[in-house]
Amino acid sequence: MGTGNTNSSIADSNANSMNRPPEFSIIPEPVSLLKTNGFFTLPEEVIILASPEMKLVVDYLKEKLTVPTGKFVSEFTNTQAAATIRLVLNHNPNAALGNEGYQLSVTSGVITIKANQTAGLFYGVQTLLQLFPKEIESKELISGIKWKIPCVEIMDYPRVAWRGLMFDVARHFFTKQEVKQYIDAMVRYKFNLLHLHLTDDEGWRLEIKGLPKLTEVGAWNVKKVGEFGNFSTPTADEPRTYGGFYTQDDIRELVKYAKDRFVDILPEIDVPGHSLAAIVSYPDLSCTPGAEAYRVRSGEKIMDWSKGPPPFALVDNTLCPANEKVYSFLDSVITQVAALFPFEYIHMGGDEAPINYWQKSDAIKALMQKEGLKDMHQVQGYFEKRVQKIVESKGKKFMGWDEILNGNMSPSAAVMSWRSAAYGIQASREKHEVVMSPQNMTYLDLMQADPVTEARVYSSIRLGKAYEFDPIPAGADPKYIKGGQANLWTEQVYNIRQAEYMTWPRGYAIAESVWSPKEKKNWTNFTGKVEQHFQRMDIAETKYSPGIYDPVLKVSRSADRQVMVELSTELDGLDIYYSFDNSTPDRFYPKYTEKLVVPKDASQMRLITYKGKQIMGRLMTVSVDDLNKRAGRR
């Protein structure tokens, strides 16, 4: 890292090479890569030699090569053909490669990708594309490029099987085409699992036959912009026209689209909390009288977290564990979800369920007496066990957020660990299957740079923190760790461009954490690759955060109560220039070298980063009032 940073993971970096991009910018880092002599140049006519069962991979590769290069690409199954690119499924499987590994050989005459399964060929293609010049990412023809790549021998396979991204389409609805766009971006980095968060207080996004109000009523709220969670309560005359849902045919199309790119879709129906959209649709699912007056949330405050967790609910957004109608309702929902999504798991939420309305419910009190339940944890445990039985009766495996551990669940319940790695470690020791997604490293809704540049939320995860993610943490039983994922909650994400901005480049960090061998991870090498992939995303017209170029501020107060500002950068080789006189700094302004004292009468501090003569970071303006708040009292 740059000025003022002492991150030990990069302390051994070679300072002489810090401004030189890595020779190979492959994300995630392969298991092994050997450079050999020479280059391969793409000819005018490209022949792909493959067998019919490789059609999905061939079609994908043909499109990726044809559009930007303009080359004529054809495919043959005749093994005598003079191939440009050979795709080979091993007759005798290579045990080291598993189901998703591959071997990629590039010589001056031919490219060969070998794998045990077609998924491995697909991931070999992703690596191959990253070897080509960045213009390969273009969606239109680009002329004047030498389409050549260095000769290499690569062997590669994933560290864990579950490599996921969670996309919350409930808080804000994203169209079928936008979900496809998100899938297209994630497969480039060898993610294989898309977790769709389909239901929440703000919307029910899935057509359920026989329960039409879920989408007629539950999928729509009042459009608001600004700071989610603090919106004014909608008035009766504000139109509830914002939202949307997926028909069952939409879901079948998305499942196929994902599967054609070797991605499974995990559906999540979040219950018993986060269920306001369902309750507004069918008020008799609630324990609370008067639920008929509730409306689908538009972003107004409905929870008080000041004393939580669990939160104190201002409206009852929970399904009633004491109501038999709830289990009939869930049986109908889960029956259809199980038929729509071929993936073996169904995620049933279980997080952040408030208990204050349950505590007042006579029906809950009667249930506790009847079932011998001692507290609200056991009430939710009773609910979760019944839901698990429904899920398993449809031939699926039950998964929930780590709060389900409070309910003494059987080991057949899989756990997605979000509150911290400790819950996942505990679950693995109790023989639950576990997917690690700790919020302090993998939550993509959190800020990724200074709050003056970001949509403000309660916390932040910079790229370096995301890169520290280890899906198999010390103390866990690795036999039960299925893998890891990053989660994009969308309360403050209003459109697909912002969804991309929040996902990348932290998605690179998670991808490398779940695919690459732990010992191959190297921060300095990784950040060099990130810069190269920014250029690729520019050409692909995928949005990303440039936050890695922005200064990191650490504000404190001296013994004599002066405000002190210490600056550093995540990226090596950056210089920080600053001003306190309200003008815009450039590289001729004072350069930061040591901790600064904020001048007595200054009103703002402005910052910019350069690499040599080139502007790299965004112009940051931080008020002195803000600096005072950050410094706190002394």
Determine contact, residues 493/499, Cβ cutoff 8 Å.
yes
For residue 633, the model assigns a pLDDT of 73
User: pLDDT value at position 80?
Assistant: 67
Q: How far is CA 193 from CA 264, 556, 612, in A?
A: 5, 42, 41
Tell me how far apart the alpha carbons of residues 123 and 163 are, in angstroms, rounded to a whole number.
13
Q: What is the pLDDT of residues 387-438, one digit of tens each?
A: 999 999 999 999 999 999 999 999 999 999 999 999 999 999 999 999 999 9
Backbone angles phi, psi at 84, to 5 degrees: -90, -45
Distance, CA of 424 to CA of 416 (rounded, Å): 7
Local structure of residue 376 (DSSP, 8 states): H
The domains of the chain are located at 32-156, 162-397+480-516, 547-631
| Residue whose C-alpha is closest to residue 128's, from 115, 141, 140, 116 | 115
Closest residue by Cα to residue 417 from 458, 475, 457: 475
pLDDT at 483 over 50: yes
Q: Which of 498, 505, 471, 538 is nearest to 168 (CA)?
A: 498
Q: Are 211 and 337 in contact (CB under 8 A)?
A: no
How does 218-246 read in b/e, with b if 16+ C-beta sit within 10 Å? bbbbbbbeeebbebeebeeeeeeebbbbb
pLDDT of residue 10: 36
Are the C-beta atoms of 359 and 416 separated by less than 8 Å? Answer: no
Is residue 607 a contact partner of residue 552, using CB atoms and an 8 Å limit?
no
54 DSSP assignment: G
Q: What's the predicted TM-score (pTM) here? A: 0.95
Residues pairing with 40 in the sheet? 149
What is the model's pLDDT at position 14? Answer: 39
| Res 7 pLDDT > 70 | no
Report d(CA 137, CA 140) in Å as an integer: 9
Q: Same CATH topology for 32-156 and 162-397+480-516?
A: no
* SS3 call for 24: coil
The mean per-residue pLDDT over the stretch 524-547 comes to 97
For 440-471, what is each residue's pLDDT tens digit?
999 999 999 999 999 889 999 999 999 999 99
Name the catalytic one among 202, 352, 433, 500. 352
| CATH class name, domain 32-156 | alpha beta
The superfamily in CATH containing domain 162-397+480-516 is: Glycosidases (3.20.20.80)
Question: From CA 164, how far away is CA 487, in angstroms rounded?
Answer: 8
Which residues in 282-392 belong to E strands, given as ranges?
303-304, 312-313, 345-349
Helix, strand, coil shares of the chain, percent, nearest 5, are 35, 20, 45
Q: What is the pLDDT of residues 571-615, one digit of tens each?
A: 999 999 999 999 999 999 999 999 999 999 999 999 999 999 999
352 catalytically annotated: yes
Mean of the per-residue pLDDT values of the chain: 95
Strands annotated E in 250-338: 264-271, 303-304, 312-313
Query: Which residues, 6 or more positions from 541, have their beta carbon under 8 angstroms from its beta carbon?
Result: 139
The confidence score (pLDDT) of residue 634 equals 59
What does the angle CA 116 – CA 343 – CA 347 come to, to the nearest 5 degrees? 135
- Asked if pLDDT for residue 231 goes beyond 90, the answer is yes
How high is the pLDDT of residue 307? 83
Q: What is the sign, positive or negative, of the torsion defined by CA atoms of 586, 597, 602, 630?
A: positive
Per-residue pLDDT of 500-535, as tens digits, reads 999 999 999 999 999 999 999 999 999 999 999 999
Cβ count within 10 A of residue 476: 22
Q: Are 398 and 346 in contact (CB under 8 A)?
A: yes
> Is the omega angle on the peptide bond into residue 599 within 30 degrees of 0, that is, cis?
no
547-631 domain in CATH 2.60.40?
A: yes
DSSP codes of every residue in 72-128: EEEEE--TTS--SEEEEE-SS--TTTTTT-EEEEE-SS-EEEEESSHHHHHHHHHHH
Cα atoms in the 13 Å half-sphere on the side-chain side of 515: 31
